[in-house]
Amino acid sequence: MTNVLSLLVVIPLAGLVPLFFFRRDERAAKQVAITTTLVELAVSLWMLKQFVVGEAGFQLVERVDWLPSLGISYLVGVDGISVLLVPMTTLLTFISVLYSSGGVIKTRIVEYMTAFLLLEVGMVGVFIALDLFLFYIFFELMLVPMYLIIGIWGGPRRIYATLKFVIFTLAGSLLMLVGIVAVYIQSADASGSRTLSLPELIELRGRFPGDFQFWVFLAFALAFAIKMPMVPFHTWLPDAHVEAPTAGSIVLAGVLLKAGGYGFLRFGLPLFPIGVQAWLPVLIVLSVIAILYGAIVSAVQKDLKKLVAYSSVAHMGFVTLGIFVLNLQGGVGAVLQMLNHGFVTGALFLFVGIQYEKTHRRMIADLGGLANLWPLFTTFFGVFVLASLGLPGLNGFVGEFLVLLGTFALPGAPLGGLFWGPLAAIGVILAAVYLALDVPARHVRTGARGI
């Protein structure tokens, strides 16, 4: 198991082979997809067991020269930032495939499972790639299967939502590609050799002048901001969530959005420190706006799925705020917030999907009385709602609390931590407002009678 990270990439690809042979047997295709994602989850847990906590640098590193004449290599590894994101990805993928196998998806089952296995390759690859070119390939690979999942198996307005999703994310990806090419050219040494290896680029970042970092960080930041998404690039997210099938919403909110925050931490901060400082005020302002805007818009939603979708904008605002306060509390809080948001919001979309399959309703006003009919379901749903709220004692509290601590620790200059900290804290209060509307009422209304 010395090549455990490569195994995580290969296993979903290997699962495509039996899917091809069972393309006429939908039941066998479901079993193949479930088994493949379960094995992938087990291997990711084995990877987690091999990780040595407290050891600095990247671990489980694998490197093979891929295009040596261009300085491009197959380089993968994990550290404290990515080591938990990989098991989260494999767990949510397994849950999504398992749920989809229960009869929710009724057409093109083999193609659907193929898309999910390819999507898992891209998602896992993003979190382990340490070469910019390799990262870009995995980053783009996530786009195509999600495009198909929404566009083929989505809701009535799936074409509109898919095109919007592709246009936004593809524009960001092209900007990042321009930034990668610029970094590649700038990395040349006296002999003319170049590299896209992250560890080597970190050592060479002294060659990146201030103006270069200013513009190249902007290119990377736009790509990651669209993927998260940050305000004002968030408009594709609610449409994609509402039209996506339940499993698509789970991995979209639970994993794909994290690729943006992870990209900031993995590549933006270490490679372009001058660029980060130059754009820091803008990024902090946009993060706080995202927290407040996402919470306010969520409070007026009548569609339960849209409410959860817009709440993701607010929660990811805490991630970017924690990243760009540039201190330990904020950085740790941002990573924990990504993990907590992945599990909690993934679970909320799963609960929304389950009740929609039973009631065929998503309007909050129609869902009163569910607690009387499904007491266990609403109990677990309520627990995850409280976790999303950030109730002390649940996982959602830890990340947001650390982010707020980091924000209050900003320098006391004009518009410092004592200004942005209270503003961000208002977002937590507003979360209590919109999530209180999310919990089904105890009394039975007309919409719940026919369940």
Residue boundaries of the structural domains of the chain: 272-451
Mean pLDDT, range 110-115, rounded to an integer:
90
Give the pLDDT of residue 237: 85
**Residue holding tokens 């390819």?**
118
Residue 235: its pLDDT value, please? 85
What is the rounded average pLDDT for all residues in the chain?
85
SS3 234: coil
Segment among 178-182, 358-362, 379-383, 394-398 with least mean pLDDT: 358-362
Radius of gyration of the chain (CA): 22
- Region 8-15 average pLDDT: 92
CA dist., res. 105 & res. 357, Å (int)? 11
Model pTM? 0.89
Percent of the chain whose pLDDT exceeds 70: 93
Answer whether 387's CB lies under 8 Å from 344's CB: yes
User: Is residue 416 very low, low, confident or very high in pLDDT (cuts 50, 70, 90)?
Assistant: low
Q: CA dist 68 to 64, 111, 170, 365, Å?
A: 9, 36, 28, 61
Confidence of residue 312 (pLDDT cuts 50, 70, 90): confident
> Quick one: pLDDT band at residue 442, thresholds 50, 70, 90?
very low
| pLDDT bucket at 206, cuts 50 / 70 / 90 | confident
380, 370 contact by CB (below 8 A): no
Query: What contacts 278, CB < 8 A, 6 or more positions away?
Result: 210, 213, 214, 217
- Mean pLDDT value of segment 251-256: 88
For residue 412, name the pLDDT band (cuts at 50, 70, 90).
low
Residue 416 gets which letter from DSSP?
-
DSSP state of 197: B
Contact 406, 327 (CB under 8 A): yes
Asked whether the predicted pLDDT for residue 216 surpasses 80, the reply is yes
Task: Look up residue 226 and give its two tokens.
Answer: 């669209």
Q: What is the pLDDT, as a whole number, of residue 436? A: 64
Percent of all residues in the chain with a pLDDT value above 90, rounded to a whole number: 30
